Structure 1
């Protein structure tokens, strides 16, 4: 469940993870102000989810970041336990992550007409 290092969708996956960190911390205010979660609890949850995303971003270059990226998607959805609108944000990012990954796999699996014609 990895993309090749030359796959252009790997950059898209990295971008998804970076934007998730931003949205997690924007959600922190909603958790505290709207849902009444203590700042310490919200900070621990958001910090853990952000750390997962940052570690996954770094690991995508080496290949081991893909499983961590999938865990980040679960963490994004789980933040909905602290404030309900994060369910929507988590599902949206999970959908973008999944679509980017599937499209990346399709790019890798498509036939290369140059190789079939004997060109390098």
Structure 2
């Protein structure tokens, strides 16, 4: 779920870079660079989610997205929305992983108590 959120967020961040062209004092190259840089950061974070640093990078992306609101005020809102979606996916994913481990342990215990045979 977290990778999905980062993928969607990468599109929004890139388009935010495009939208800042002409609406801020930044040059077109700088605007595109900021949007593209943040979009690539999202993609890298999504790719690193199997490693502990990937989630830390994901949280950093959320902070940077909200900080982008200083250039594009709408990003204060969008950054908070994506931050909330990221937090929901992160904590729900942790809960699902924990419940899967508990279920696997219960199944192993049941299997050991009942001779290791499959039910059915």
State the TM-score, normalizing by the size of structure 2.
0.76
Asked if the contact 1:45/1:79 (under 8 Å) is kept, the reply is: no
Bigger shift: residues 91-100 or 27-36: 27-36
Gaps of 5+ in 1: 1-11
Asked if the contact 2:46/2:58 (under 8 Å) is kept, the reply is: yes
Note the alpha carbon deviations across 1:43-98, whole angstroms, 9 max, x for none.
Answer: 22222212221111110123331111111111111111111111111111110000
**Relative to structure 1, is the Cα distance of residues 116 and 54 closer, same or farther in structure 2, using a 3 angstrom cutoff?**
closer
Determine which of 89, 93, 103 is the counterpart of 1:112: 103
Alignment RMSD = 2.2
Q: How does 1:59-78 map to 2 (within 5 A)?
A: 59-78=48-67
User: Could you say which residue in structure 2 is the equivalent of 1:89?
Assistant: 78
> Rg larger in 1 or in 2?
2
Tell me which of the two structures has the higher relative contact order, counting C-alpha pairs closer than 8 angstroms and 6 or more residues apart.
1
Gaps of 5+ in 2: 112-120
